Structure 1
């Protein structure tokens, strides 16, 4: 097996759990905070490394304290960091996250830094899977061209121009419900199955290959044997949903790397997500692979 290349954003997350939603003009006494690695590409790479995959992170880390902490965390998670994007003037991206302990929802403030232009040169490697979060579109498209035999996957959380550029070229477009609604201008209503089919078809047309639309607690939509189907979500009492989508996509990339069938990849990814939202933090909520496999044996989830 070749390597997994995770391309995109790394960020340092500072999560503050609250006992309810943020209220304007309210003063909060903070008695707890969680600091850990974050960012879509970083979290996905951490999962792949923890699960034993041969994974490399292609991302920007500054030379500041946040960058140093992320570098150390990446190595501890088993990530190969020798292909990081050189950007010595970058302030490492970081996020302040307020999580609602009652329902697990979160409000995120991200400081993306000011990345400069780089002339990135790809290594001569055997690459099996390319996962992109859309934050480094030029580098991602270069990787897809450089490694034509690798499976390519985009984590499309929001419908930005950079994400669409990548989405058009990948094998697997795995997008959020928000992305699908932003792109099509239509709301997904599972009680209107024909309308769901139309939305799904529009998303499929972006890359002309495989598409998946994740729906949070409502599960996800995918196509098999020519028919669109829904895979329900695994039950979970959410504590913090930060990084859950990143973990889903990391597990998806791992499944591609292992040569799994699509439905098995979707179940693996869904269970990894389910376990992650039961814990606080983003990178710190990544479940171990044996835990995911054990939980999968307890549930028989049928597609609809």
Structure 2
């Protein structure tokens, strides 16, 4: 059993399934809904735990009344919370999400973690020596940078979830072993995937992958370029596909090589897209 630390955003996700998005000044009735803890690192931690590992999410939760929904969901899925600001009374970020029935596409509105940033001088940052892998989603950048440096000094592999470029990533990347990025991840000066690959490789990152939705995953491992085809599916909900991918990758990379880990993670993420919500796929 492996132990993973997931650093980043903890939200409460309110997810609705609807035939269409509301237009201007329009109300629509959802056909289904679900409520769960969310955030890239959080959903990755849930996936990592589901696959038989010990997962801890390092982020801000606090004591606002609605945080009991977050806590109960993560407890149910075996994820431990390391709260960076356990006494805060502020509400956690709440994401409102509409999933379109016909395509599985999602529309999201959220505050992200912009109002709950923590710095190492506010909270002592420690890393247990028995942690096997660290994932950083960039939503707690100062803490993520400190954790990445500690992990590097202890030879613990560091994964980044590069969903989009965030200021401060340039300080984290030199300590990264595995950069798993979306097609929307553009470092300064980069305009396409080739330039992104070159940017990350120039920083000494040995293993890089760029996901492109249903299109093949492009990757570079120790200077060798290749791609991985994704299995064709009928998508019901793509909301947390990337998060599931990252959690599954963290599980797999501790057991096998980079390319096989990407393929295995892609298979599970694709499977999860065939169910509504971020948890239903685990029940089947």
Please say whether Structure 1 and Structure 2 have the same fold, judged by a TM-score greater than 0.5: yes
Residue 163 of structure 2 aligns with which residue?
157
CA distance in 1, matches of 2:188, 2:241: 22
CA distance in 2, matches of 1:46, 1:16: 20
Deviations along 1:97-133, one digit per CA (max 9) or x if unpaired, are 0111111111101133621543233154311100010
Residue 277 of structure 2 aligns with which residue?
281
Residue 213 of structure 2 aligns with which residue?
216
Residue 198 of structure 2 aligns with which residue?
201
RMSD over aligned Cα atoms: 2.2
Q: 1:159 to 1:225 in 2, by over 3 A?
A: closer
Per the normalisation by structure 2, the TM-score is 0.88
Instruction: Give SS of 2:148's match.
Output: helix
Alpha-carbon distance, 1:247 to partner: 0.6
Stretches of structure 1 lacking an aligned partner (at least 5 in a row):
189-195, 292-304
CA distance in 1, matches of 2:158, 2:102: 37
> Is contact 1:184–1:202 with CA below 8 Å preserved after alignment?
no
Residue 191 of structure 2 aligns with which residue?
186
Residue 33 of structure 1 aligns with which residue?
33
Residue 93 of structure 1 aligns with which residue?
93
Instruction: Give SS of 2:52's match.
Output: coil
Q: 1:25 to 1:244 in 2, by over 3 A?
A: same
1:21-100 aligned within 5 A: 21-81=21-81, 83-89=82-88, 90-100=90-100
Per the normalisation by structure 1, the TM-score is 0.83
Alpha-carbon distance, 1:50 to partner: 1.3
How many matched pairs?
277
> Is contact 1:272–1:287 with CA below 8 Å preserved after alignment?
no
The answer to which structure has the higher helix fraction is 1
Give the alignment partner of residue 169 of structure 1, picking from 151, 165, 175.
Answer: 175
> Is contact 1:52–1:78 with CA below 8 Å preserved after alignment?
no
